[in-house]
Amino acid sequence: MSFLLGLALGVAGGLAPGPLQAMIVAETLRKGLRHGLAVAVVPPITDGPLVVAAALVALELPGYVLRVVGLVGSAVLAYMGIGILKGDSVEEIDREEGAAKTTLGKAVLVNLVNPHPYLFWLTVGPAVMAEARSFLGKVTFPIGFFAGIVGTQAGIAWAVHRAASMAPAEKIAAARRYCGLLLLGAAGYLAFDSLTRLP
């Protein structure tokens, strides 16, 4: 049961608009499927320590720390969005095809400065794990969650890649610009959320 609950929450998290989802679309359109997939696998990398903290209920970040983290994340997203809007030529995009490790590093940074994983794993995580009656139940919840979120985000990357492969270059360039605006919108939302809604 814990696995299925984690899977459902992971799928919901993968579909919810946010910084990583915007980055998946942008990087897939700019550099190809491998880059989109590199972003999709980030949650297990960045959230591992949070899962441990949730399981032990050993960490409680004060609200002002989450606000600062969120504002830093907003600045990172805004920087990336402006970079996309400034535009890359097709030649520049082609030359970047092999640098998936760089994309992974950027995605890790974006997720580390996103306060929402902290809120999830330090509120929902401990509550679900506390209700699990066995050690196996406590372990299968995060496994299900990561399977759900990574699988969903990989599906998004694949769908965007397939759509881009059938679209003319002008439409791809326009879609990349929309992704830049999307990242700026995500930056604004993250800043607003950090200043007004976080405890």
∠ at Cα 87 (85, 89), nearest 5°? Answer: 165
d(Cα 139, Cα 18) in Å, to the nearest integer?
Answer: 26
Among 173, 175, 190, smallest CA distance to 115 is for 190
Position of tokens 């760089």? 102
DSSP 168: -
pLDDT value, residue 41: 95
Cβ-in-10-Å burial (0-12, 13-18, 19+) of 108 comes to middle
Nearest to 43 by CA among 2, 14, 82, 72: 14
Q: Report pLDDT for 101.
A: 74
- Render pLDDT for 160-197 as a digit per residue (tens, 0 to 9): 898 877 766 666 566 667 767 776 887 787 688 778 86
32: left (phi over 0), alpha (psi -120 to 50) or beta: left
Give the pLDDT confidence score for residue 94 in this predicted structure. 42
d(CA 163, CA 142): 31
Strand, coil or helix: 61: coil
What is Dmax (Cα atoms) for the chain? 56
pLDDT of residue 172: 59
- Among the listed residues 88, 118, 113, the one whose alpha carbon sits nearest the alpha carbon of residue 186: 113
Divide the 199 residues of the chain into consecutive groups of 10 and give the mean pLDDT of each group. 85 81 87 92 89 60 68 74 64 48 86 81 71 80 93 92 75 68 75 71
The predicted structure's pLDDT at residue 92 = 43
Helix axes 33-40, 19-31, angle to 10 degrees: 160
